[in-house]
Each structure stands twice: as structure tokens, then as C-alpha cells.
């Protein structure tokens, strides 16, 4: 909806001034005549004027109108233009040359600083050219200073980058927070871990959250996903240990997640260097590091071991008692033969029961060990090359690589698998004096599942199946030909969830041992993919699909001031607040008549920086038809909304994304009306303050007629991209808002409360939907 054009009261007064002057002069003349002429002369004058009174009034009216138009044009030309010029100059003074908002050239200064077609005088154009020249000089000085600052801080940024890269490559989930719990760095592993733990049911893999919003983000509170009391208790314990002189204190706790997983959290302090100034006390904390591990599977395995131990102890207690009683009775020399045989049967039964329990315990233990077997991703060609290096020269054996699929990635424990190959090669040399072996690797399908097919080929020899079974079940031999422990080739194959057999190929005159091994990124092929403690498992391929560098880090948040208990939100500085800038696309423009939201897009501003990667973008099924007029604007067609979540599912996720921030929108009354009407159906209520760039533009530029998003962006040097998409408009609105903040500060509007009060006083604040 469009708003009425603002009334320039000064221009109206200037236009009405001639009429008031003429009316005053006429009234003064009449008063003078009334005071100086005798009554008979006044009557004569009135008799002469009365027939022409209409002509006198018309002359007065048209003279006043002509004079008013001339005065109004003069006002616009000589009085209003400097006001508009002042507004545009303030924009130039607050422009950031690093962001591309530099001053215009002198030749087009008149068009850049004043709107064309409004009677701009030559003096005003000359003045704008001078202002533009000064702005250009200012920009040049800024750029020079900026280059020097950038040169001086490059080394610091490199150190930050190294630290960030190091944390990104850690296999463990790591989150760094300031003392207020605001997240200032996290690695990709932590993001995926929290997504899996909080968004997925227990035992399921990670799924994409509604809107693409992550459970954690830069500048957001860690207390949105972890209990504040647990973290506070751990921090208190760390501070106590620091006070006692501990050099590297840490604390840990275990907490359940929404999906029923168990998370073990280790907390370590981030300390200011050196002791507190002038006190000799321990270093002052300015943040903490959280290292997180999902221990759901580990705890389940621990409970399974406890049950196994209980079965072995309590279940065997009765059998041992029966055995002891039977043995004591068998020692009786007078025991008859049938009774003796009966007791011997009892002994045999109890021994069999004990043997079965031991076998079951051994099988469960082997299964648990198999599940904990650490398998890692490895390029197949790298594995073959490593195996050839180990095999070559073993007992005079020549080893070579045959055909190898260079694109295959294996999921293996490479050391034990190479030991198995070495065991087979050693046995071939010892038993059959085989001169050479060849390793081949290919992609294959076995029982409907893709596997890696690894062949150890050698010149054919007369080999029995019993010999192969014996080699498969005996302990693996070391390089020196001695048994290296109890691990067998069969154990290695089973713990990879694979298969192994021997076959001959008469056409090639060769025999080969064939292994079927799991491929990286193929679900359900390895019995023990991953180590213990991964619960909602995160495959390596899921991590590799994301940039390994941390996507969010801002060490300046260490110094960010958090709101104190006694603070009022309205008294917070605009520069200190965190914002969620959002926009909606709807089925129409009448929320009270049944139009609904079909898309929500949002981004965040934290520590006075736009976080472009912190976004919320979600289509919404409105459960009603779309109008062709609306489709022409936003381009969202009905088929795009099929299968999308309903608003009742989307709004809680958006509410979590915007939690603990100030909302910002352009023409926010429109968007907020849709959210308010959805409160009853969704139970979601947005109670945080809302700033409107439409109103803030009217505060900063009261003499401008157009406050559309495009017009404001054009005045402030913001590039408009993705218009009429929710996320695209939210991004533009965020950039506009960041440009408006310094202009508001220049007017003395520095706090949230002052910005809200100033917005409410604008004529645009009367808009209702």
C-alpha cells in the first residue's frame, strides 16, 4: 500500500503568505478609512465600492494566488533545496568508501545530490559540486588510511585464519564462546553434530532443518542448545581451579538433548594473557571453549557390558553351586551306580550351560568389538600403493599394482587390512614359493550393494580349500613370520563387514584371494563405521560436502557487551544489539481478508556486521490458491509449494532463529500483521521490538518523497539484488539498515528506545493493515 505524500508545512505557509499580506493590507486600509472619514463620506465610499465588491475580491484572490505560486516556487528553489542538499550531504558523510558508496563525480553532482526537475539553481549545483569534491577528497584519504590499516592488520588476520583453519580440521566438535555465552567460533563438525542431535530422532542421520537455519550460529547464545546452569557450574569449577593455581583447568558434564541423545561436554577457559593487572591473581577469563562428543552409543555399550557381566556372574552362580553339590555327593563311596550316573548327568548339563553362556558372552564381546572397529576414508589407489610397498621384497616376493579404479574411496582400517595381505603373501611364499603377487582394485556389486573388490592375484598353485580355511582362521603373521596376536584374517574381514574367498582363473593361469570391502559414503556396508560415541552418526562425506574452513568466526565478540540484569532494552545502543532482518512473500496484500505467508527469508546482524551465511529461507504451504497477480510479483508458483511445511511448522523454527534479537523489516507493519494473525493458530508470538527501515528513512530523510526500498537503497548506495524474494529483500533491507544507523547516530538517535520513539513520530507510522 502507498502512503500519502508528506505535507511540507513551511511551503504551505510560504504560499499562503501573500494572501495573508494582501488581506492585512486591505483590512488596515479599511480600518484607516473608518477611523479618519466622517460618517457621510464613509457612506459615499461604500456606495461606490459596493457594486464592484465582487471584482475587488476577485482581484485580491487572483493577485494573492499568483503571488503565492511565485513565493512557493521561490521557496522550493531557494529554501527547500538546501534542506534536501543537507540530507544528501549527510548520506555522503556517512558513506563507507570501502563498501563502494563513494561520492559522485563533480560533473553529475547536481543530479546526485538533488532530485532533477525541481528547479535547482545554478548556485545550488555549484555548491553540490564543491561538496562532491570535498567528499571525493575525504574518500581518497579514507582509502589511504584504510590501506595502511589493512597492511598493519594483515598479519593478525593471518593468525586468526590459521587458528580458524586448525579448529575446522579437528575431528571433534568445537565451539568457542565469550563469557555471556555468545558463540564466536564453531567448526563444521559442531554444526553438523548439533543438527543431528537436536533436529533428528535418536538413531537417525542429520536432516536439513526448516528454513535452513542451524541450531547454532555466530553471535547466538549457546544456551539455546545447552542448559545455562550446567555451563555456569562448569565455569565456576574452572575458576576455582584457576584460583588454586591450576595451569590448565577444565570441567566436563553430560547432558541429554531433545532427541534423546547423550552429549559429553568438556569446558576449557579462554584466558586473558598474564594475571589480573596489579593483583597477582590468576588470569581473568574472557570466554570458554566447549568440546563436544556424542556418547549415546558408548553408554549403550557400557550398559550392554554390565548386562553381560551380570549374566555371567549371576547366571553361573547356580550352575557352580549345582556342580559343587554333585561333586560332593559323588565322593560318597556308598553311592549306587544309577544315582552316580544321575549326578554325572547333572554335571554334564551344568558344564554345557556354562559353555553356552561363555560362547554367548564371547559372541557379544566380539560383536561389540567389531562395532567399535575404527574405519576411515582412504583413497583406493593410496591403499594399493601402501600395500605394494609393504609386500614388495617380503621373502623375495615381487609385488605390483594391476588395474586400480582411481576414483574409489574405501572405508577401511588400513593397518590391519595390509597385515592380512602380508599374512597371505608370507604363507604363499612359505608354502608354494610364489614369486610375485598383483593387487587389483575395482568397483563391484554384491547382493545389491556396491562394494570395493580387492584381489591379491598370484601364479596358480595347487591349493586346497582346507589350506585356505586354515590360513583364514590362524593368527596373522608379522613381517618376521611370527604370530602377531590373536587377530585372524577372518576377524579383519568381519570387522570390515566384508567377505573373503579363494578362486582360480584357468584362462589367466592364476589364483586370487578376493576381498569385498566397504566404500566410503555408501550406507549400510560396514558393520563398524566409525568409533564409539557417535550416536547420531556423522559420515565423513557429510563433513566433506561443506567447506572445511569455519564458516563463522568473529573474535571481536570477546569484547562484546552483553545486556546486564539492570539494563532496559530501550537503553541499549543500536550498535551493540543483534538483529534479525526479515521479509515475507504472501498470497496477497490483505492479511485481514485471508491472505497468507508463502515464504519467509531472514538474515542476522551481529556486532554491527551482516552475517550473510546466517540465513533463514523457507517456502510455506499456504493451503490456499495463489493469485496470478501475486505470482507475477514474487514468481512463486503453486507447484513450488507442494510438499512444503505449513506455517504452524515454520513459525516455531523462525522464532528460534530470531530469538534474543531485535526484528527489522521494511514496512514492518505489513509483515508483523501476518505474524500477529497467525498467533492463535500456531501459538507462536513475537514479542521483541521491531524497527522499520521505512520509518527510519522518514526520520533520516524527512524531505524526501519516496521511501520505497529501491529508493532508499539508491540514496544510500546499496545494490538491489533478488528483489521480491523474501531472502533477497531481507538482505537489501539489512544493508539499508546498516547504512541508516550512522545517520541516526549523527542526529543524536543512538539507542533502541530513541529509534523507536522517532519512528512513531513520522507520518508513515499511521499505516495500518
**Active-site residue numbers?**
724
Q: Which residues contact 185 (CB under 8 A, 6 or more apart)?
A: 164, 167, 174, 175, 176, 218, 550, 552, 553, 554, 555
CB atoms within 10 A of CB 230: 16
The span from the CA of 680 to the CA of 659, in Å, is 19
Chain position carrying cell 533545496: 81
Query: First vs last Cα of the chain: how many Å apart?
Result: 9
In what order do the strands lie in the sheet containing 285-294? 251-256, 262-271, 285-294, 173-178, 183-186, 552-553
> Are the C-beta atoms of residues 534 and 196 closer than 8 Å to each other?
no
Helix residue ranges per DSSP H, 683-725: 693-700, 709-716
CA 765 to chain centre: 34
In this structure, the chain runs to a length of 769
Burial class of 5 by CB neighbour count within 10 A (0 to 12, 13 to 18, 19+): exposed
Q: Which of 490, 493, 501 lies closest to 528 in space, CA to CA?
A: 493
DSSP assignment letter at 723: T
The span from the CA of 629 to the CA of 635, in Å, is 10
Torsions phi, psi for 173 (to 5 deg): -75, 130
> Are the C-beta atoms of residues 383 and 496 closer than 8 Å to each other?
no
Q: Which of 294, 306, 302, 307 lies closest to 202 in space, CA to CA?
A: 294
> Are the C-beta atoms of residues 576 and 560 closer than 8 Å to each other?
yes
Burial class of 368 by CB neighbour count within 10 A (0 to 12, 13 to 18, 19+): middle
Q: What angle in degrees, to the nearest 10, is found between the helix axes of 81-94 and 122-169? A: 20
Q: Which residues contact 487 (CB under 8 A, 6 or more apart)?
A: 416, 419, 475, 476
The span from the CA of 390 to the CA of 406, in Å, is 20
Chain position carrying cell 563513494: 102
Could you tell me where the beta strands, DSSP code E, fall in 31-182?
Answer: 173-178
The span from the CA of 293 to the CA of 193, in Å, is 9
CB atoms within 10 A of CB 41: 11
Q: Which of 561, 598, 563, 606 lies closest to 581 in space, CA to CA?
A: 606
> Are the C-beta atoms of residues 397 and 367 closer than 8 Å to each other?
no
Rounded to 5°, the CA angle 719-721-726 comes to 130
Q: Is residue 678 left, alpha or beta, with left meaning phi > 0 and alpha meaning psi from -120 to 50? A: alpha
CB atoms within 10 A of CB 545: 11
> Are the C-beta atoms of residues 725 and 585 closer than 8 Å to each other?
yes
All cell numbers assigned to 296 = 549415546
Helix residue ranges per DSSP H, 392-486: 414-432, 465-473
Pairing of strands 690-692, 662-665: parallel
Which residues make beta-bridge pairs with 293?
264
Torsion sign over Cα 709, 711, 713, 716: negative
SS3 for 445?
A: strand
Name the CA dihedral angle for 523, 526, 529, 534, rounded to a multiple of 10 degrees.
Answer: 60
Amino acid at each position: 500500500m502507498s502512503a500519502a505524500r508528506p505535507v511540507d508545512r513551511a511551503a504551505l505557509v510560504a504560499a499562503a503568505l501573500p494572501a495573508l499580506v494582501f488581506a492585512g493590507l486591505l483590512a488596515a486600509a479599511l480600518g484607516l478609512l473608518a477611523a479618519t472619514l466622517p460618517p457621510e463620506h464613509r457612506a459615499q465610499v461604500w456606495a461606490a465600492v459596493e457594486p464592484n465588491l465582487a471584482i475587488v475580491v476577485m482581484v485580491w484572490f487572483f493577485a494573492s494566488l499568483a503571488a503565492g505560486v511565485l513565493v512557493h516556487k521561490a521557496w522550493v528553489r531557494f529554501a527547500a533545496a538546501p534542506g534536501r542538499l543537507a540530507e544528501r550531504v549527510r548520506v555522503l558523510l556517512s558513506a563507507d568508501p570501502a563498501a563502494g558508496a563513494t561520492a559522485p563525480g563533480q560533473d553529475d553532482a547536481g543530479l546526485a545530490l538533488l532530485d532533477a526537475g525541481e528547479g535547482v539553481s545554478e548556485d545550488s549545483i555549484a555548491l553540490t559540486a564543491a561538496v562532491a569534491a570535498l567528499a571525493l577528497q575525504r574518500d581518497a584519504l579514507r582509502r589511504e588510511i584504510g590501506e595502511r590499516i589493512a597492511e598493519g592488520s594483515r598479519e593478525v588476520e593471518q593468525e586468526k585464519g590459521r587458528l580458524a583453519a586448525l579448529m575446522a580440521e579437528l575431528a571433534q566438535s568445537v565451539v568457542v564462546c565469550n563469557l555471556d555465552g555468545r558463540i564466536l567460533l564453531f567448526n563444521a563438525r559442531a554444526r553438523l553434530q548439533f543438527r543431528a542431535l537436536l533436529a533428528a530422532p535418536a538413531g537417525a542421520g542429520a536432516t536439513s532443518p526448516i528454513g535452513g537455519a542451524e541450531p547454532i550460529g555466530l553471535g547466538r547464545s549457546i544456551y539455546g542448545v545447552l542448559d545455562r546452569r550446567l555451563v555456569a557450574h562448569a565455569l565456576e569449577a574452572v575458576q576455582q581451579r584457576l584460583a588454586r593455581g591450576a595451569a590448565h583447568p577444565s570441567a566436563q558434564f553430560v547432558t541429554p538433548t531433545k532427541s534423546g541423545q547423550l552429549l559429553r561436554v568438556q569446558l576449557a577457559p579462554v584466558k586473558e594473557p598474564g594475571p589480573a593487572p596489579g593483583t597477582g591473581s590468576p588470569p581473568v577469563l574472557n570466554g570458554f571453549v566447549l568440546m563436544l562428543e556424542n556418547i549415546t552409543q558408548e553408554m549403550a555399550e557400557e550398559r550392554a557390558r554390565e548386562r553381560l557381566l551380570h549374566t555371567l556372574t549371576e547366571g553361573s552362580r547356580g550352575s557352580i553351586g549345582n556342580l559343587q553339590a554333585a561333586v560332593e555327593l559323588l565322593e560318597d563311596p556308598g553311592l549306587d551306580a544309577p544315582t552316580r550316573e544321575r549326578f554325572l548327568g547333572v554335571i554334564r548339563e551344568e558344564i554345557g550351560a556354562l559353555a553356552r553362556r561363555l560362547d554367548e558372552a564371547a559372541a557379544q564381546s566380539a560383536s561389540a568389538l567389531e562395532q567399535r572397529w575404527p574405519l576411515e576414508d582412504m583413497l583406493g589407489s593410496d591403499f594399493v600403493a601402501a600395500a605394494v610397498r609393504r609386500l614388495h621384497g617380503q621373502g623375495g616376493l615381487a609385488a605390483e599394482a594391476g588395474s586400480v579404479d582411481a576414483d574409489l574411496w574405501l572405508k577401511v582400517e588400513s593397518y590391519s587390512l595390509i597385515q592380512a595381505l602380508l599374512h597371505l603373501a608370507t604363507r604363499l611364499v612359505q608354502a608354494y614359493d610364489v614369486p610375485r603377487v598383483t593387487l587389483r582394485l575395482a568397483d563391484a556389486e554384491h547382493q545389491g550393494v556396491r562394494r570395493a573388490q580387492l584381489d591379491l592375484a598370484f601364479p596358480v598353485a595347487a591349493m586346497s580349500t582346507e589350506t585356505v580355511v586354515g590360513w583364514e582362521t590362524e593368527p596373522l603373521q608379522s613381517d618376521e613370520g611370527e604370530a602377531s596376536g590373536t587377530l585372524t584374517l577372518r576377524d579383519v574381514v568381519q570387522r570390515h563387514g566384508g567377505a573373503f574367498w579363494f578362486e582360480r582363473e584357468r584362462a589367466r593361469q592364476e589364483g586370487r584371494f578376493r576381498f569385498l570391502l566397504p566404500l566410503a559414503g555408501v550406507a549400510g556396508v560396514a558393520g563398524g563405521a566409525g568409533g564409539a560415541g557417535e550416536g547420531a552418526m556423522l559420515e565423513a562425506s557429510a563433513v566433506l560436502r561443506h567447506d572445511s574452513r569455519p564458516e563463522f568466526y568473529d573474535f571481536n565478540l570477546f569484547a562484546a557487551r552483553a545486556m546486564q540484569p539492570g539494563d532496559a532494552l530501550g537503553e541499549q545502543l543500536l550498535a551493540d544489539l543483534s538483529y534479525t532482518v526479515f521479509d515475507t512473500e504472501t498470497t496477497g496484500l490483505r492479511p485481514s481478508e485471508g491472505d497468507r505467508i508463502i515464504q519467509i527469508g531472514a538474515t542476522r546482524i551481529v556486532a554491527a556486521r551482516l552475517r550473510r551465511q546466517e540465513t533463514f529461507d523457507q517456502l510455506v504451504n499456504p493451503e490456499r490458491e495463489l493469485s496470478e497477480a501475486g505470482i507475477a510479483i514474487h514468481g512463486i508458483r503453486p507447484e513450488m509449494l507442494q510438499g512444503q511445511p505449513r506455517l504452524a511448522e515454520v513459525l516455531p523454527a523462525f522464532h528460534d532463529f530470531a530469538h534474543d534479537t531485535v526484528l527489522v523489516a521494511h514496512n514492518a507493519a505489513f509483515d508483523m500483521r501476518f505474524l500477529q494473525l497467525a498467533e492463535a493458530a500456531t501459538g507462536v508470538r513475537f514479542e521483541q521490538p521491531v524497527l522499520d527501515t521505512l520509518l527510519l528513512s522518514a526520520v533520516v530523510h524527512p524531505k524526501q518523497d519516496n521511501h520505497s526500498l529501491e529508493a532508499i537503497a539508491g540514496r544510500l548506495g546499496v545494490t538491489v539484488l533478488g528483489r521480491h524474494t523474501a531472502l533477497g529483500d531481507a538482505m537489501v533491507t539489512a544493508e539499508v539498515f546498516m547504512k541508516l544507523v550512522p545517520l541516526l547516530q549523527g542526529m543524536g538517535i543512538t539507542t533502541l528506545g530513541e529509534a523507536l520513539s522517532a519512528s512513531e513520530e513520522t507520518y508513515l507510522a499511521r499505516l495500518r493493515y
